Amino acid sequence: MRSPERIVWRDTFVVLLITALMAVLCAQFDFSEALRRWTAPWERFQLDELPAVLVVLAAGLAWFAARRYGDAGRELRRRKAAEAQLAAALTDNRRLSQQYVQLQEAERKSLARELHDELGQYLNVIKLDAVGIRDAGSAPQRERTEAIVANCNHIYTVLTGLIRRLRPVGLDELGLEAALEHCIDTWRPRLPGVKLTLAMAGEFGDLSEPVTLTVYRVVQEGLNNVAKHASATQVTVRLERAGSGTEDDGITITIADDGVGFDTGSPTQGLGLIGMRERLAALAGHMKVKSVPGRGFELRAWLPVDAMEVC
């Protein structure tokens, strides 16, 4: 693309060339003398003075164009400076969002570990003590200890579910695909009337931890929204990686259902969608929602694989 300065010099050269050519033609054909003869019948209108007037008009227009060009150049420089500041601010905001997501995941990981190692162990100790008392105690004691064991089992079940939500099971050891399959299997008993389908195309084993966690959290939150609002009978989760090894290397996440849908023009959207959009934006990704009341819902998100380098 040519720079504005080169375009100005080119246009100036063209104008000067045309002016020189017209000067040669006018000298060759005595344009002034011919003009005097043509305007002689209307001498009272002083038409022979028209060239001088046109010269002044042309000079005025040239000055006006030069001033407008200068103003446009200054405005363009101001806009470029403002755009550069905005881009820097957006980069800083994205970096802060990314750090926030990383800190949040680190805190969740630490909390899940503490719940498992501390609270989980104490629950097991209480359960073992209750079992010992039940086996060696009297009938009233056995009834009470049975209740303690049942309560411990219930608390441990709730604790296990909480730990799974805090830290995806198998994500670190088995990878994204196995973790998503486990996530889908976990949701199937909660949605007995819904047919859940997971389809993955591409290689997902070489993703960085922030990208892997973001993909997992988007799918997790999408299924959570389906359970809360969709009233669907079919849900499809599809992941596709395209452009592997190129600058366009990215992951497309699609979550679609045949539920009740909602009006995308409504200003009220759940915190789940906002959270997903913020997670994706922190890694230079984006998300689109397509839905019509009564005709289902589709969420399509895209995330670059080299998100750490982009940010």
pLDDT per position as a tens digit, 235-248? 999 999 987 667 77
Look at residue 310 in the predicted model and tell me its pLDDT.
Answer: 45
Average pLDDT, the chain: 82
Look at residue 97 in the predicted model and tell me its pLDDT.
Answer: 74
Counting as low any pLDDT under 70, the low residues of the chain are 1-5, 35, 39, 43-50, 137, 169, 244-245, 266-271, 307-311
Give the separation between CA 21 and CA 28, rounded to whole angstroms.
11
Topology of domain 175-310 in CATH is Heat Shock Protein 90 (3.30.565)
Look at residue 101 in the predicted model and tell me its pLDDT.
Answer: 74
Q: What is the pLDDT of residues 3-50, one digit of tens each?
A: 666 777 787 788 788 878 877 877 777 777 776 777 677 766 666 666
What pTM value is reported for the model?
A: 0.61
Look at residue 254 in the predicted model and tell me its pLDDT.
Answer: 95
Look at residue 311 in the predicted model and tell me its pLDDT.
Answer: 46
